[in-house]
């Protein structure tokens, strides 16, 4: 994951303690509390992708740099 600091217009790649599957063709929404909610799309590689389970929502916490799944 890359992060754009809009104040300095610089990119960074934070260190993450968890590995996350690759997602394609998804939508992501930044909530006011700093969580990014990822919905839909496909998981896997572009050569071997499968539809994402819509009952499992991936969430990234921009403050703690951690991932969680909501079912």
pLDDT score at 13: 87
Identify whether 26 is part of a domain.
yes
In eight-state DSSP terms, residue 49 is E
**Structure tokens given for 37:** 């909610």
In a domain, 44, yes or no: yes
Tell me if 8 is assigned to some domain: no
| pLDDT per residue of the chain (71 residues) written in tens, 0 to 9 | 788 889 999 999 877 767 677 778 889 999 999 999 999 888 877 788 888 888 889 999 988 888 899 98
- Locate 14 and state its tokens: 């934070």
| Range(s) of the domain holding residue 29 | 22-70
How buried is 53 (Cβ within 10 angstroms: 0-12 exposed, 13-18 middle, 19+ buried)? exposed
Residue 40 lies in a domain: yes
Q: Is residue 11 part of a domain?
A: no
Number of domains making up the chain: 1
pTM of the model: 0.73
């Amino acid at each position: 994951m890359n992060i754009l600091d809009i104040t300095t217009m610089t990119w960074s790649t934070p260190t993450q303690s968890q590995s996350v599957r690759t997602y394609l063709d998804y939508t992501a929404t930044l909530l006011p509390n700093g969580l990014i909610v990822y919905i839909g799309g496909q998981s896997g590689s572009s050569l071997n992708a499968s539809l994402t389970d819509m009952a499992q929502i991936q969430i990234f916490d921009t403050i703690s740099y951690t991932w969680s799944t909501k079912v």
